[in-house]
């Protein structure tokens, strides 16, 4: 692993036909979307993670959990894709590479709102809801979701729950398999804004490197997966990705 700038990363990207991108919470930080832990402020600081994001916590107090996610959905709705999201979508739309696929741990849907297609969502999407009993009924739009007590599934009568992966739950096997194949089948894997602490997503860069993929990490901070990288670029998504993929980065905050 070595550190370098956008030029060094562009050199690794030169000649790449297939590019995979794995994004984490840092990808959306510049859009004003807090991490799960950072969102536990004010009223929500008195509750632990299991109360707010587990099947057990939901069944114990469905209204509490539903209000927590309604509050977070409001924050996501007010956020906008940043220049990093837009740079990825633009590179995909313009055919900068033979293929460019995004795998994300984020649940905010900002990649899709920026224009990225076929995004693999490892942890679900906060604006969707699905039946707690897994009967297949789902709501896809925020306007369908009341902010008070969760609605009942019209098919079976159980609660509807946020369509995200909670503590103690496994990732959707099809999404995980698609992510593994996408990352290991790329020429270059860009890993953007992830701490490398959440598994199994954190294992994807190491597995990709073992498969012969060139790994570039973009992160302003040290991460647990830095040793898996061929190159680490210190910087944020909104500043670095436009420089790597074309377009103008945002001006520094004043």
Active-site annotation, residues: 123
How many degrees, rounded to 5, is the angle at CA 90 between CA 228 and CA 27?
A: 45
What is the chain's length? 254
Query: Which residue in the block uniquely carries the two structure tokens 């906060």?
Result: 126
How many degrees, rounded to 5, is the angle at CA 144 between CA 149 and CA 46?
A: 40
β partners of residue 217: 191, 232
C-beta pairs of 42-45 under 8 Å, 24+ apart in sequence = 44/68, 44/71
Beta strands (DSSP E) in the chain are 2-4, 18-23, 99-104, 120-121, 124-131, 138-139, 160-164, 188-192, 214-218, 231-233
Q: How many helices (H) and strands (E) does the chain have?
A: 11, 10
Q: Token pair for residue 128?
A: 């969707």
């Amino acid at each position: 692993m070595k550190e370098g700038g956008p030029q060094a990363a562009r050199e690794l990207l030169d000649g790449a036909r297939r590019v995979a991108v794995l994004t984490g919470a840092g990808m959306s930080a510049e859009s004003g979307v807090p991490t799960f832990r950072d969102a536990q402020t004010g009223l929500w600081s008195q509750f632990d993670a299991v109360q707010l994001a587990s099947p057990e916590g939901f069944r114990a107090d469905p209204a509490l959990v539903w209000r927590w996610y309604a509050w977070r959905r409001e924050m996501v709705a007010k956020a906008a894709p940043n220049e990093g999201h837009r740079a990825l979508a633009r590179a995909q739309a313009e055919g900068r590479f033979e293929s460019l696929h995004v795998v994300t741990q984020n649940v905010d849907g900002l990649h899709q709102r920026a224009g990225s297609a076929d995004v693999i969502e490892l942890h679900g999407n906060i604006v969707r809801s699905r039946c707690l009993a897994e009967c297949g009924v789902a709501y896809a739009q925020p306007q369908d979701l009341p902010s008070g007590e969760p609605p009942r599934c019209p098919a079976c009568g159980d609660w509807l729950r946020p369509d995200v992966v909670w503590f103690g739950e496994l990732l959707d096997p099809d999404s995980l398999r698609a992510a593994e194949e996408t990352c290991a089948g790329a020429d270059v894997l860009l890993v953007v804004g992830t701490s490398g602490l959440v598994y199994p997503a954190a294992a994807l860069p190491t597995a990709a490197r073992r498969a012969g993929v060139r790994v570039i990490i973009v992160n302003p901070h040290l991460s647990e997966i830095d040793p898996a990288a061929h190159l680490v670029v210190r910087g944020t998504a909104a500043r670095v990705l436009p420089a790597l993929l074309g377009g103008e980065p945002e001006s520094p905050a004043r």
